[in-house]
Homo-oligomer: A and B are copies of this chain.
Amino acid sequence: MADAPADIESLIALMARLPGLGPRSARRAVLHLVKKRGTLLLPLADAMREVGTTARECVNCGNIGHHDLCGICEDERRQNGQICVVEDVEDLWAMERTGAFRGRYHVLGGTLSALDSVGPEELRIPKLAERVKDEGVSEVILALGATVDGQTTAHYIADRLNGVEVTTLAQGVPVGGELDYLDEGTIGAALRARRAL
């Protein structure tokens, strides 16, 4: 039974493996790409080839860059004694967009999870302990998700690191947030952490 040409079907199958796209939306996306061959499909192919051949994980922190060490680990000015521990590179990017943190990062690559049998060895936690010793770190800031797995991981790391201050992000009302729309857990945490005005 004839359908789309074979090379287009292979492209659809590859696109359908992206998070956020299913078989039907991959089909729609590919058709859009074929219609915009010159302005979108070929530039995208080039951009993917470029990133695919140059991007690599930083051997020190797990961030994505172009060399063995990422731009942040290479930058001497960012060795300020602070390491911010994040679950994934998205979180590192989000933190960088704030411009509020001037230290270095450590990307775990996930959270501890008994269910998915993810242990400390899978998560660059031994490497973190090593870095705390080697880089003269005075504070480890845990910027992990406020989920059960995130908090389990945070406590595991805090137990494992000795001789260094371990802090975590504050919980409270988001900037611009209305109380009415917040869950009770968040309001309760914000109340307990209240401060003088």
Contact = CB atoms under 8 A, between A and B. Distances in A.
Given A1-B97, A5-B71, A33-B51, A15 B27 contact: no
Interface stretch (A18-26, A138-146, A186-194): A18-26
Interface residues of A, number: 54
B90 A28 contact: yes
A27 B51 CA distance: 13
A138 to B, nearest CB: 22
Contact of A41 (B8, B37, B51): B51
B28 A15 contact: no
Specify the main secondary structure of chain A where it touches its partner. helix
A177 interface: no
Contact of A3 (B4, B45, B51, B93): B93
Interface string A51-82: 11111000000001110000110000000000
B32 A42 contact: no
Contacts of A89: 31, 34
